Amino acid sequence: MRRAWRKRGRSSGRAERPRVCIVRQLDHYELPIRREAEALAAAGFDVEVILMRRPGAPRREVVDGVEITTVRVSLRKRTKLHYVFDYGRFFAVVAVTLAWRHLHRRYAVIQVNTMPDLLVLAAVVPKLLGARVVAYMHEPSPELAETLFGPGLVSRSLARIEQLVLRFADHAITVTEQLKQRYVERGARGDRITVVLNGADPETRVGGWTPPATRSAQKFTVICHGAIEDRYGQHTLLEAARILRGELPGLEVVLAGRGKRADQIAQMIPALGLEDVVRFEGWVTHERLNDLLGAADVGVVAQTASPYSHLVHTNKMVDYWIFGLPVIASRLRAVSEVYDDTVIEFYDPGDAQDLARAIRRLHDDPRRREELALNGRRAQEQYGWRVQQRTYLAVYDALLNGRPPDAAVVAAAGEP
């Protein structure tokens, strides 16, 4: 999908690629950013990504045609005060960086990927000088705060910030229809919000990767990867493994990821006597994760029920489909309203007995595994990045060509 987005340089008369910047408060070039940046670059944009700088990372590098710029700010995970200070420092550095660069070479669009939502306002100077601003709202901050701390002042304050950001941005993108409707319920305009579902670009996820030569026929491997947090339910999977430990021959549970609860999960494994069943890999490289996914039999999305989890999908679900794995997932609103029981083996959120039942069923029924894997691949074809990319680029097409984004998205949906 290549649009006529080139413009004339002021003095040379030569064609220039419109300049786009994507901002994300992370210290690594994660797959969701990469898929967006590479889609924009392929569509004819000059793309820059601004991230935090991890130790040893270069200040600037070019990856597959995308310029990666890092700023010397990090998140210290010690106290809430450190978080607030580091968020504020990154905001200030990014605001100055965007203003300075826009004055020297204008941005056509600045896309800010949340969280935090307030970071979108760092694009205020370029916006005042003509740049378009896209707020990519990945998560519902008020519901996340409510999940972590309970309802109260924090969640109400974040809801007000969310609405301020949605009014400030020229357009917003979010990850589920349920989350869009929640924004609208709180006062946002629905015609200024577009839904682009989560999920990796298959070419980015597996490009250049070679599958392992052999897989063990003696093991039945269940995998769960991603952030290690209470809301992602790894503890429920460990309890299910304890239930099944002496029942399913060859059962192996693989956990990979990092997060606040990583140490707790690592300690639970010996405490439950699961050293011979569960393998905790911690954080792994992209290539190692591909190896783990390629060797697995089933993927699990174990989110617990919360105000947050009923509004979002996880990237890991799409990863499993890309690798041809059947998916077991907790029955949450945002997922179950899109996919039915022919696509996912659902279980009751937080119920280790029911998760054990789902694992047992797929262990004992190869035909059910094949059905879910096949329908998962079809779901990936119907809802995956190849389709979502058209919707995503249609937002840019509309913003830069003076058309309503919702009309452009409808037109993009009809493209082959």
pLDDT tens digits, one per residue of 274-298: 999 999 999 998 889 999 999 999 9
pLDDT in the model for residue 329:
96
Does residue 261 share a domain with residue 209? Answer: yes
Written as one string, the DSSP assignment of 266-325 is HHHHHHTT-TTTEEE--S--HHHHHHHHHH-SEEEE-PPP-TTGGG---HHHHHHHHTT-
Q: Are 109 and 396 in contact (CB under 8 A)?
A: yes
- Domain presence at residue 165: yes
Residue 227 shares a structural domain with residue 308: yes
Domain with 369 in it: what CATH number? 3.40.50.2000
Q: Do 232 and 181 share a domain, yes or no?
A: no
- Considering the domain boundaries, does residue 30 fall inside one? yes
Tally of domains within the chain:
2
| One domain for residues 299 and 174 | no
Q: Quote helix, strand, coil % in the chain, to nearest 5.
A: 45, 15, 35
The answer to whether residue 1 sits within a structural domain is no
The pLDDT value recorded for residue 149 is: 87
User: Would you say residue 2 lies in a domain?
Assistant: no
Together in a domain, 390 and 302: no
pLDDT at site 406: 62
Q: Assess whether 131 and 229 both reside in one domain.
A: no
Length of the chain: 416
Considering the domain architecture, whether residues 363 and 226 belong to the same structural domain is answered as yes
Task: Say if residue 366 is in the same domain as residue 401.
Answer: no
Helix (H) or strand (E) holding 347: strand 345-347
Query: Is residue 42 situated within a structural domain?
Result: yes
Q: What residue has token string 């691949």? A: 377
Indicate if 375 and 237 belong to the same structural domain. Answer: yes
Domain limits for position 330:
203-382
| Same domain as 373, residue 404 | no
Per-residue pLDDT of the chain (416 residues; tens, 9 = 90+): 445 455 544 444 445 789 999 999 888 888 889 999 999 999 999 999 999 888 888 889 999 899 999 888 766 555 666 667 777 888 999 999 999 999 999 999 999 999 899 999 999 999 999 999 999 999 899 999 998 888 899 999 999 999 999 999 999 999 999 999 999 999 999 999 999 998 777 887 887 787 776 666 689 999 999 999 999 999 999 999 999 998 998 999 999 998 889 999 999 999 999 999 999 999 998 889 999 999 999 999 999 999 989 998 888 899 999 999 999 999 999 999 999 999 999 999 999 999 999 999 999 999 999 999 999 999 998 898 889 999 999 999 999 987 766 655 555 554 54
**pTM for the complete prediction?**
0.85
Question: Is 166 part of any domain?
Answer: yes
Q: Give the pLDDT confidence score for residue 74 in this predicted structure.
A: 66
pLDDT tens digit string along 61-77?
999 899 999 888 766 55
- Asked whether residue 131 falls in the same domain as residue 172, the answer is yes
| Same domain, residue pair 143 and 211 | no
